[in-house]
Amino acid sequence: MADLIKLGVFIAPSQPLEPEIAAKVCEAHGFHFEREKRDKDKGFHKVEEVIKEPEAPVAQPEELLKDRPPIITIMGHVDHGKTSLLDYLRKTRIVAGEAGGITQHIGAYQVEHNGQLLTFLDTPGHAIFSDMRARGADITDIVIIVVAANDGIMPQTVEAIKHAKKANKTIIVAINKIDLPSANVERVKTQLAEQGLQTTDYGGDTEFAEVSALTGKGMDDLLDLMILQSEVLELKANPKAIARAGVIEARVVPGRGTTATVIVESGTLKVGTPFICGPFSGKVRSLINDRGQAIKAAPPGTPVEVIGFEELPNVGDHISEMKNEREAKALATERQEEQRLVRLKPQHRNRMEDLYSMVRDGGGKAQLKIILKCDVQGSVEAIRKAILTIESKKVECTFITAAAGPITESDIAYAESAEAVILGFNVKVEAKAVKAAKAAGVEIKLYSIVYELIDQVREAMLGLLEPLSRESVIGHAEVRQVFKVGRNRAAGSYVTDGRIHRKAHARVIRGGVPVFDGRMSTLRRFQDEVEEVKNGYECGIRLGEFNEYQEGDVIECYKLEKIPQTL
């Protein structure tokens, strides 16, 4: 691992090495690296096998299509009641336990109303989760924009409306908190019109419902609107087609391993199904529904947790059913090789650009090295992006690793080798990792609120910058007589302006050129030691070990202030 870190390569112990990197490591230890396999006495060989990519989604015959539940995304500004609204629909109380009142990652749930299933996505309202909200709008059929009747439209409300419009999704507005005395529904409608959403009672085509997630008032009306709009959209899918599902969230769960929450888009995802997802393959070992129950199959429109991934998938990737595990693994290998080749060129170019920048600027930036571990992959992406968007011309944040899962002993080893700090968001630290961190002196910071994490990263970046020294001249004195004091000499001086302070810095200027710069060791007024002598008074001055005073020298007295730098 130490060799890899020296080469600037940071990967998990389970990840394969790129051939070029493996060759360098082998060379460093006196070994020869052979890229191809070979059988004894038979030379090199490579068996070529062409694996077909999964077929792209195509229009299905009408007779095979069945109605599917609508996929509904709830969006809006933080604290406008999105999670409370969804919570009311599910008849549970999960909001109170959320740190800082923030939904930390997208969840998927199903609700039944009048015999009709509705699938909900709950997107975070926090500003840094913008990308996650955009992904939610992309997979959904209907977007519910929640607006608090007392606050009206806020910045994240505007952003949510833009995402929904850009994705060309059906929009329903839920005007929430109508139970509050300060509620002003008409003002909200006017603000919606300004954003291009004309409600039906104002002659437009945007459906809306006045609701209270606290009392339940208007909630049935809102559900009726969702079902009505889903009927208008005629949402159908073929449950017998090749299974395909979109990854909404991914994480590492103790006891389960790598898991992902997905929404089945077509076909039926079954236990035992081999699949490809991005550059990784897998086999469905277990399916867990939104109630925590193990199920055998998930039809279209169903949210389900999939267990059986070889590696953590990326949010936004798609699971595609494969013929068998062998073909799934072979295709995963091909995709990984393609990604490796794509990565090589940009990396080398960026390194040359970085080198040029350092030569041009006379040096590089200070670096804050970070290992980031989060509960889910969506949080990893959002927090990493938020940290990288902290503007600084002097400090650069470098991620050694950024992944979902608990903080492990391997993370401690990485941090020790790279001199990095470990940041954990909604994760635990394994017992062995705690001991290893204490032994290695590795710092671990744990958070459950996003803003606190970002703020402390900003403070840590500032902490890497040495304060600037600012000099302020406070006075001058002219040397008028030089006399001996024991083995040393002192300057009999006259303060010409300002003041001379014993604890200040001072320099001797001769003919306009400094000949000594240091601290003042003695300041006397007649025979008395004094702290300060003001303009118009005589004094005796000794500066450190300096003894070469001459009449006519100027002693300039100044103070140095430490000024904190900005990013």
Clarify whether residues 100 and 192 are in a common domain: yes
Residue ranges in 389-470 assigned as alpha helix (H):
409-418, 431-440, 450-463
Question: Does residue 53 lie within any of the structural domains?
Answer: no
- CB burial of residue 292 (10 Å; 0-12, 13-18, 19+): exposed
Clarify whether residues 99 and 128 are in a common domain: yes
Say which range, 62-71, 134-143, 514-523, has the weakest mean pLDDT.
134-143
- Percent with pLDDT over 70 in the chain: 81
Clarify whether residues 388 and 318 are in a common domain: no
Clarify whether residues 384 and 401 are in a common domain: yes
Tell me: the pLDDT tens digits for 148-158? 999 999 888 88
Domain limits at 409? 365-464
> Does residue 94 carry a pLDDT above 60?
no
pLDDT higher for 106 or 455? 455
Clarify whether residues 263 and 226 are in a common domain: no
Clarify whether residues 178 and 306 are in a common domain: no
Question: Does residue 494 lie within any of the structural domains?
Answer: yes
Q: Which two tokens stand for residue 543?
A: 């500066």
Question: Does residue 444 lie within any of the structural domains?
Answer: yes
Tell me: the pLDDT tens digits for 409-432? 888 888 888 888 999 998 999 888
> Does residue 102 carry a pLDDT above 50?
no
pLDDT of residue 285: 93
> Does residue 7 carry a pLDDT above 80?
no
Clarify whether residues 107 and 233 are in a common domain: yes
Clarify whether residues 199 and 87 are in a common domain: yes
Instruction: Give the closest residue to 240 by CA, choosing from 268, 271, 277.
Output: 268
Q: Give one word for 566, left, alpha or beta, with left for phi > 0 and alpha for psi -120 to 50.
A: beta
477, 500 contact by CB (below 8 A) = yes
Of 397, 429, 464, the residue at which a domain comes to its end is 464
Most distant CA pair in the chain: distance in Å? 113
Band of pLDDT at residue 306, cut at 50, 70 and 90: very high
pLDDT higher for 100 or 178? 178
- Distance CA(386)–CA(457), nearest Å, equals 10
SS3 of residue 312 by DSSP: coil
pLDDT higher for 534 or 312? 534
pLDDT of residue 352: 36
Which among 252-266, 410-424, 460-474, 496-510 has the top mean pLDDT? 496-510
What's the chain's average pLDDT? 81
Clarify whether residues 458 and 502 are in a common domain: no
Clarify whether residues 198 and 69 are in a common domain: yes
Question: Does residue 257 lie within any of the structural domains?
Answer: yes
pLDDT higher for 186 or 363? 186
CATH code for position 207: 3.40.50.300
pLDDT higher for 111 or 53? 111
Domain count, the chain: 5
Band of pLDDT at residue 123, cut at 50, 70 and 90: low
Q: Which two tokens stand for residue 58?
A: 């195509």
pLDDT of residue 84: 83
pLDDT of residue 353: 41
pLDDT of residue 231: 92
Mean pLDDT, range 33-37, rounded to an integer: 60
Tell me: the pLDDT tens digits for 220-278? 999 999 999 999 999 999 999 999 998 888 887 777 788 888 999 999 999 999 999 98
Question: Does residue 429 lie within any of the structural domains?
Answer: yes
The conformation of residue 178, written as its DSSP 8-state character, comes to T
Question: Does residue 55 lie within any of the structural domains?
Answer: no
pLDDT of residue 360: 37
Clarify whether residues 77 and 22 are in a common domain: no
Clarify whether residues 199 and 109 are in a common domain: yes
CATH code for position 472: 2.40.30.10
> Does residue 127 carry a pLDDT above 90?
no
296, 65 contact by CB (below 8 A) = no
Long-range contacts of 288-294 (CB under 8 A, 24+ apart): 289/110, 290/107, 290/108, 290/109, 290/110
Mean pLDDT, range 36-57, rounded to an integer: 56
- Distance CA(14)–CA(11), nearest Å, equals 8
pLDDT of residue 257: 80
Q: What is the 3-state secondary structure (H, E, C) of 230-286?
A: HHHHCCEECCCCCCEEEEEEEEEECCCEEEEEEEEEECCEECCCEEEECCEEEEEEE
The conformation of residue 206, written as its DSSP 8-state character, comes to B
SS3 of residue 533 by DSSP: strand
pLDDT higher for 249 or 24? 249
- Distance CA(107)–CA(419), nearest Å, equals 35
pLDDT of residue 375: 85
Question: Does residue 332 lie within any of the structural domains?
Answer: yes
Of 464, 499, 532, the residue at which a domain comes to its end is 464
pLDDT of residue 355: 34
pLDDT of residue 362: 38
> Does residue 68 carry a pLDDT above 90?
yes
Tell me: the pLDDT tens digits for 327-380? 889 898 888 888 777 655 444 333 434 433 333 343 457 788 899 998 888 788
Mean pLDDT, range 474-485, rounded to an integer: 91
Question: Does residue 355 lie within any of the structural domains?
Answer: no
- Distance CA(249)–CA(181), nearest Å, equals 38
Report the Cα–Cα distance between both ends of the chain, in Å, rounded: 33
Mean pLDDT, range 432-458, rounded to an integer: 87
pLDDT of residue 104: 38
Of 432, 464, 496, the residue at which a domain comes to its end is 464
pLDDT of residue 132: 56
The partner residues of 497 in beta bridges, in order of sequence, read 476
Tell me: the pLDDT tens digits for 520-534? 889 998 888 899 999
pLDDT of residue 335: 85
